[in-house]
Amino acid sequence: MFKSIVAGAIAATALAGTALAADLPRRSAAAAPAPVYKTFNWTGAYAGLNGGYEFGKMTKSAATTVGNINGYSFGGTAGYNQQMDNFVVGVEGDLARTNVDGTTSTNSAKITSLGTLRARAGFAADRALVYGTAGYAGGNTKVTSAAGSASKWENGYAVGAGIEYAFTNNISAKTEYLYTHLTDKNYNLATTTAGSNTSAIRSGVNYKF
């Protein structure tokens, strides 16, 4: 009899302990730390490709004999950026093969290549960069008239603005406007003196090293 009472008491105590343990709050796993977001930095060297559409007008006597010119360009780009807080400064150079020309019945002019070396300065909002640019421009122009044809390298300047966005830490894409003035030169074709003023709307893709 006594043994039965003791056994019953032990069983009741065990059941009560099990129920109490079931009511206790369970320890959950520690939450994973939130990922740390790192702001993109534009500092570094880059290279890429660019292409676009150019239009404008010849100057001096070629403005009358040829007039308007237009066409396409495609080339390469290289540069370096340095970011300081939200401000980005740098230098960029490009060289493009162009097919920007105009033709009348007896005269024609064509810009066959165009290169620039420019400073860039802008404001970065993380992966987006808005910038202005200005510097040297030079291009090869071929002029043809009834007196023959001649090609010369013309020097000038370029100014413009654009926006660039970094899709990854290495790949970015840009769209920009660039105004280019090439100074007048005498082509020794009767009285043909030619220069040009052109506007370019172009896009490009860059790889940041």
How far apart are alpha carbons 49 and 185 in whole angstroms?
Answer: 30
Residue 95 vs residues 105, 125, 176, 177, 201: alpha-carbon distances, Å: 31, 29, 15, 16, 15
User: Residues 162-173: what's their mean pLDDT?
Assistant: 98
Phi and psi at residue 26, in whole multiples of 5°?
-85, 140
* pLDDT for residue 38: 75
Report which of 111, 203, 99, 199 is spatially closest to residue 158, judged by C-alpha positions: 199
Q: Is 40 exposed, middle or buried (0-12, 13-18, 19+ CB in 10 A)?
A: middle
For the chain, what is the mean pLDDT?
87
- Given pLDDT bands bounded at 50, 70 and 90, which one contains residue 150? very high
* Over residues 146-161, mean pLDDT: 94
Q: Rounded to whole angstroms, how far apart are CA atoms 129 and 35?
A: 25
Number of residues that make up the chain: 209
d(CA 191, CA 15) in angstroms, rounded, equals: 114
pLDDT of residue 12: 47
pTM across the whole model:
0.80
Give the pairing of strands 193-208 and 148-166. unpaired
Phi–psi pair at 168, nearest 5 degrees: -135, 180
Nearest Cα residue to 161 out of 120, 107, 106: 120
Q: What is the pLDDT of residues 65-102, one digit of tens each?
A: 899 999 999 999 999 999 999 999 999 999 999 999 99
Mean pLDDT confidence for 153-180? 98
Domains of the chain: 44-208 (2.40.160.20)
Confidence (pLDDT) at 5: 45
CA distance 143 to 134: 27
For residues 109 and 100, give the distance between their C-alpha atoms in angstroms, rounded to a whole number: 8
pLDDT digits (tens, 9 = 90+) for 3-43: 554 444 444 444 445 544 455 455 656 666 666 667 899 99
